[in-house]
Every structure is written in C-alpha cells, then in structure tokens.
Amino acid sequence: MSAALQTGEALGSALLGRLPAGVAGPAYDRSALRPGIAHIGVGAFHRAHQAEFTEDLLAVEFGRWGIVGINIRPPLIIGTLGRQNGLYTRLLRENERVEARVIGSLLRVVDSQDRAEPALAVLASPEIDLISLTVTEKGYCHRPASGELDEAHPDILHDLAYPETPRSVPGLILRAMELRRCSHDRPVTVMSCDNIPSNGAILERVVTTLAERRGGGIADWIARNAAFPSTMVDRIVPATSAADIDFVEQNLGYRDDGVVVGEPFRQWVIENRFAGRFPAYDRVGASIVDDVEAFEHLKMRILNGAQTTLSYLGVLAGHEYSFDDMADPLLASFIRRMLVEESLPTLQPIPGVSPEAYVEQSLSRLTNTAIRHRNHQIATDGSQKIVQRILSPIRERLARGHGIALLSVPVAAWMTYLIRASERFGRAWRVEDPYAARIAAIADRIGNDPKALSEAVLAIDAIFVPELSENPVFRASVAERLAGLLSADPIGYLRTICEAQETIGRKG
C-alpha cells in the first residue's frame, strides 16, 4: 500500500485507497456524503474535534452530515484544504505515541474573507440544518464582562450600517437568518464551540441584539426558528507547525498542508436545545445534557485556568511550552495549589465527577511533551479569556468572603504580560489581544507605578465589572501582585507567595 505512494505526493481523494498501513481513512462511502453542517472557523480545533466526532458518527450511522467549512478571516483554506478535497490528517500524540487518521467529514471549504456572499450562500442553503462555529473568543464581538454585544466594535458598526454585506460573526448569522426566512423558512441550530461562558446564550444574545436593531420581525423569526445550544468542548490542539507537516511527509510518505495534532483526550457536552435535525453525536461519545454550566465551569476554571496562568508565568520564567511550565517544580506546585485551594471550591457538583481527580487529570494532560502548545499562543487574547477562567471564580470567592491570594496572581500576570509588551517597558515580546493597544497606552502614560497601572487596567469595564474593580480586597491584591511580577525577579516573587501559602497551610 505505502509502496504505491509517490514521494511528496499530496493528500487528496486519489490517495484515499492507498493510505499507508496504520493510517485509518473514512469508514463510509465519501462519494455518497451530502452536506448538512456549515462550520465557520476552520482552524486547528474544529479539524481535531467536531470534524472528528462527525467522522465517527458517519462511520456508525451514515447520514447527511457532511461539513462545509467556511473561513471569514485568515487563513485562506481553498489553496490548502480545498486542494486536498477537504481531506487532512489528524494526529493524536502523547509523548512517544502517535496515532494517524485521515478525516473525510469536511466535504468542501469556502473562503469568504473579502465578501460575505460565499459564506451566506452556504449558511442560507436549505440543506444546512446545523451551523457551528469556532471563531475564537473575540469573534463574538461581545463585552467579556457582561456578554452583551459590543455596539462600539468596528465590525458591528459596519454591520449596523450595511447589514446585507456583514463582516462580523453576529452580522453574518443575522443575514443568513434573513435569507433563510425569505427563501425556505427552515429551522436551524446555531452551535458555538468556543471557550466563552454560556457560549450558546452569548451567541444568541449578540445575534438577537443585532436583529432587534435591524427590525422587520427578524428577531421573532429567530426566536421561533433557531436554537443556540451551549457546549463545553475539550481537546488540546496547538497551532500546527512546519515540523508537524514534515513529520507526516517523512513518516507517512505524503504531503499534507492541513495536518492537525491533538492530545488523545477529548470531551464534548452539548445542551439539549435544537431546532430541526441534529447529528446524533451522543452515539459517538458526546453527552447531551439539559444544563452545560457545571461542565463549562469545571473545564474553564480548571484546565483553561491552569493553561492561562501557566502561560503568563511560563513566559515570565522564560519557558516556551505548557509542558516546560509543568516541568518547572515551582510553577507546577503553584498551579496545583491555586486550582485545589481556590478554583476547585467554586465548582458546582457534577454527579460521577470527582473535581480532585479532574484537577490531576488536567495537570497530567499538560505534561504531554508531544503537545507543543506555546505559552505565547495560550496568552493570546487573554482579555477575552480571563473572565471565565479567573475572574468569575474570584468574584464568587469574594462574595463568600474567601481569600484570593493565589487567583490574583494570574490577573496580575496577564497585566504584566501586556504591560511589558509596551514601548515604555521595552517591548519584551509581541502580543495579540484586542486590548493590547489600550493597555500599552496605559503603560506608556503611567510608567513603572504598579498601583496606578493596576487601577487604570481595572477601570476597563468591558473586562472588569464594578463589583470587582471596586472591591478593595481585589484592588489591593492585584496591585501587590503586579508590583511583584513587574519587579526584576518575578519568579522569586512567585516563590515567596508559595512559601507564604505553605506557612498558612501549616498553621491552618
């Protein structure tokens, strides 16, 4: 079989019958597959998670659930995935172990970066029953603190003025709904798979707010004909690197520009709220539940909380990947303490789930040396992540009179990361965050005055609700942490925090 491969041959339909030994391919007749799902945001995660669940489902219960993938932002995908007939290799890696599979559920891809029309043609089509999304946290154009539509967002201002040629995700969904309403009136489920809290509720809110502004009864049509389930999605999938593409070429013998690498662990919890037909993902390992919130808190506050915290502390310690952070005894012990002592007590109980075991499992996942998840990648868009991962548990603890000695560290570490990227602080690294420019301007104006810096950042009300920014314990704690982390020895400072906690633990 592998002998029939030509060196450097590209993955595509023609290669499906000749995949090398040990590489699984689609277990169904791909030529009979018809589209039923439109996915916006064909990044690494979608290819390693929802597309794989869909692939599993097609293998056990073949149906009209092919995926049409759409990107409305970079990267272009027609020249890569499109050229490969939507096929790509999904590698699961755990330390030395590798498992390869070619996924076939992505039937077709569409680039719609310059104009909305190609995306709208798919989203409004009567054959599409499910629209799913992984467009990153900032794609929802919401204010992280409240979940409301950010009506000052440039893309939203554009879409309010030109609703028929939308640029934003909420504007695109709204226009697709209008087109569906006037062409065939079929119901549709719109499912966010991004790591934002109550992702279905936030998506519904931003689309509905825009629909109300648009008028003409479209908000009522959406309320009657669309459903926005919330989901908890999990699998660590770092950005694909050139080394991953080379790995496939050297070890599997073909060229694949669409490779994705993920860990073996995967989880998907979907709220039972659908309009029309929905794929039976529960047949292939997803859980369909009435309320996703407890699962979402578990994942975002523990696994994601750990990733976010380690990413900032890891950069300050000079580490590159999550597994490097976990190999650093100080960072590993800090994160375990933070999760167990402060995050875990804020979780709601889930029958059959031990939060302590979940903490250990999450930390163990982060030690996987084959998952090369860069600290700077996880640190990206922190302003969109810290509310659900760090600030919400802090708020709940403060409301109950509990301490935040440890959870205040990632808040200040996130600030430090953005402050040190400013000109005045020597542009220590390049950052990407919708609030990066605003925080750099604060840093350039104030300089090295941690108290004034923290007060100015806490005044950004799109991130910090008044309940937090006006809380004296929170303010004092973040200012103190920021002074330590902005000092010449941030890791020495972290050590003193750990020692102080140990002393408190011994006395307690």
Residues that bind ligand NAI (CB under 6 A): 41-46, 71-74, 134-139, 169, 194-195, 233, 235-237, 239
Chosen residue from 30, 385, 395, 481 binding ligand CS2 by CB under 6 A: 385
- C-alpha distance from residue 281 to each of 70, 191, 265, 482 (Å): 21, 13, 17, 45
Separation CA 412–CA 390 (nearest Å)? 11
Partner interacting with residue 138 (select from ligand CS2, ligand NAI, none; CB below 5-8 Å by kind): ligand NAI
Extended beta strands in 139-179, E state = none
> Among ligand CS2, ligand NAI, none, what does residue 378 contact (CB within 5–8 Å per kind)?
ligand CS2
CB of 167 to ligand NAI, least distance (A): 8
Residue 339 as a binder of ligand CS2 (CB under 6 A): the answer is no
- Verify cis geometry, omega within 30 degrees of 0, for the bond prior to 75: yes
Report how far residue 136's alpha carbon sits from residue 72's, in angstroms, rounded to the nearest whole number.
12
Binding mask 180-219 for ligand CS2 (x = CB under 6 A): ---------------x------------------------
The listed partner (ligand NAI, ligand CS2, none) that binds 53, CB under 5 to 8 Å by sort, is: none
Cβ-proximal residue to ligand NAI, closest one: 43
- The entry of ligand CS2, ligand NAI, none near residue 304 (CB within 5 to 8 angstroms by kind) is ligand CS2
DSSP, collapsed to helix, strand or coil, labels residue 346 as helix
Minimum Å gap between C-beta 492 and ligand CS2 is: 27
Residue 43 interacting partner from ligand CS2, ligand NAI, none (CB closer than 5 to 8 Å by kind): ligand NAI
Residue among 54 and 309 whose Cβ is closer to ligand CS2: 309
Q: Does residue 433 belong to the site contacting ligand CS2 (CB under 6 A)?
A: no
207 makes contact, choosing from ligand NAI, ligand CS2, none, with CB < 5 to 8 Å by partner type, with none
Residues touching ligand CS2, count (CB under 6 A): 9
d(CA 263, CA 94) in angstroms, rounded, equals: 6
Task: Tell me how far apart the alpha carbons of residues 123 and 72 are, in angstroms, rounded to a whole number.
Answer: 12
Partner whose footprint covers residue 230, from ligand CS2, ligand NAI, none (CB < 5 to 8 Å by kind): none
Given the complex with ligand NAI, which of 204 and 342 has the nearer CB atom?
A: 204
Q: Which stretch binds ligand CS2 (CB under 6 A): 62-70, 163-171, 323-331, 377-385?
A: 377-385
Closest CA to 194 of 234, 227, 154: 234
- Measured between alpha carbons, how far is residue 284 from residues 54, 58, 361 in Å? 9, 10, 22
User: Rule CB under 6 A: is residue 372 a binding residue for ligand CS2?
Assistant: no
For the chain, what is the largest distance between any 2 Cα atoms, rounded to a whole number of angstroms?
70
Residues 6+ apart with CB under 8 A from 257: 10, 80, 81, 83, 84, 245
Q: Give 136 or 469: the residue with its C-beta nearer to ligand NAI.
A: 136
Question: What is the β-pairing status of strands 231-234 and 267-271?
Answer: antiparallel
The minimum distance between CB 285 and ligand NAI, in angstroms, equals 16
CA–CA–CA angle 446, 449, 453 (5° rounding): 60
139 vs 450, beta carbon nearer ligand NAI: 139
Query: Pick from ligand CS2, ligand NAI, none: which does 84 bind, CB < 5 to 8 A by kind?
Result: none
Nearest Cα neighbor of 103 from 72, 134, 67 is 67
325 alpha-carbon distance from chain centroid: 20
Closer residue to ligand NAI, CB minimum distance, 1 or 76? 76
Residue with Cβ nearer ligand CS2 (129 or 433): 433
Of the pair 307, 471, the CB lying nearest ligand CS2 is at: 307
With vertex at residue 294, the alpha carbon angle to CA 289 and CA 296, rounded to the nearest 5 degrees, is 90
The identity of residue 84, as a single letter, is Q
Number of residue whose CB is nearest ligand CS2:
307
- Minimal distance in Å, beta carbon 62 to ligand CS2? 28
Check: CB of residue 427 under 8 Å from CB of residue 419.
no
- Of the CA atoms within 13 Å of residue 292, those in its CB half-sphere come to 28
When asked if residue 454 is in the footprint of ligand CS2 (CB under 6 A), the reply is no
Relative to beta strand 188-192, strand 130-133 is parallel
Q: Which is nearer to ligand NAI, 414 or 474 (CB)?
A: 414
Write out the binding residues for ligand CS2, residues 217-276 only, by CB under 6 A: 234-236
| Least distance between ligand CS2 and beta carbon 90 (Å) | 15
For the bound state, the minimum distance from the C-beta of residue 247 to ligand CS2, rounded and expressed in Å, comes to: 20
Q: Please identify which residue in 198, 304, 416, 454 interacts with ligand CS2, judged by CB under 6 A.
A: 304
When the beta carbons of 153 and 373 are compared against ligand CS2, the nearer one is 373
Best CA proximity match to 285, nearest among 60, 31, 32 = 60
350 contact choice in ligand NAI, ligand CS2, none (CB below 5 to 8 Å, kind-dependent)? none
The Cα 135–Cα 475 span in angstroms is 32
Q: Which is nearer to ligand NAI, 201 or 453 (CB)?
A: 201
Q: Which residues of 273-308 are buried (b: 16+ CB within 10 A; e: fewer)?
A: bbbebbbebeebebebbeebebbbbbbbbbbbbbbb
- The token pair at 450 is 């941690």
Choice between 166 and 355, CB closer to ligand CS2 = 355
Binding site for ligand CS2 (CB under 6 A): 195, 234-236, 304, 307, 377-378, 385
